[in-house]
Amino acid sequence: MKSSSLLTWPVALGLCLTVMQTGSADAATETTVSSIASRSYSPREAGRIVGRSALKSRRPARAPIAPAPVDQVSIERTERYDDLVDHHAHQLGLDGDLVRAMIYAESGGDRKAISQSGAIGLMQLMPETAGELGIADPFDADASIGGGTRYLRGLLDRYGSTEVALWAYNAGPGAVARGHLPDETVKYVPRVLSLRKIFHDRREPALASQ
């Protein structure tokens, strides 16, 4: 019995250290996500965002960022893909208007868009992310929307908060964990949520008549 106990003690110690490290990582994530939320939202909104993702905000929040003007051409380009968006969003239990808002914010509805960082297509997937999602042609509208919605679904399941999932989508989960997001990403979430309402309001008369 003593021999068996001695053999299992290092394993038990390793498990204990792993739990401690995991707890430290969770605490660090709480702090960084709270900090990010405070840069875009009022105290009440920041608390709601962080609380919904099982993270507790204790930092003071700053004033919300004013939304940017809307480009009608990008709106109409994005709406060309309504059928594809609704198909993939329905399959994954996502809000189609949220996906439309992301397409607008990411690429302006241009399926051939390439960002300075190398992100490609309607939903601006990085080549490595597209590869992990099994996408052969990121410029293909169906493939881009299908891959982007699957990626978003995974982030929503991981974080439990739409806002945090959008930060991770735009800047990467690593950037969210570090809490060092570019200003573009901090503005991205309020922008997308504002656009979601715009797309919803544009579609509401047609939906009401069905």
Please identify every residue annotated as catalytic.
106
Distance CA 197, CA 201 (A): 6
- Judge whether 147 and 91 are in contact, CB under 8 Å: no
Long-range CB pairs of 61-67, under 8 A, 24+ apart, other chains included: 61/37, 62/38, 64/40, 64/190, 65/40, 65/186, 65/187, 65/190, 67/190, 67/191, 67/194
What is the token pair recorded at 204?
A: 């509401």
Nearest of 174, 192, 157, 155 to residue 40 by alpha carbon:
192
- For 114, other C-beta atoms within 10 Å of its C-beta total 14
What is the torsion angle, in degrees rounded to the nearest 10, for the CA atoms of residue 201, residue 203, residue 209 and residue 210? -140
Distance CA 56, CA 108 (A): 34
What is the token pair recorded at 88?
A: 């993939």
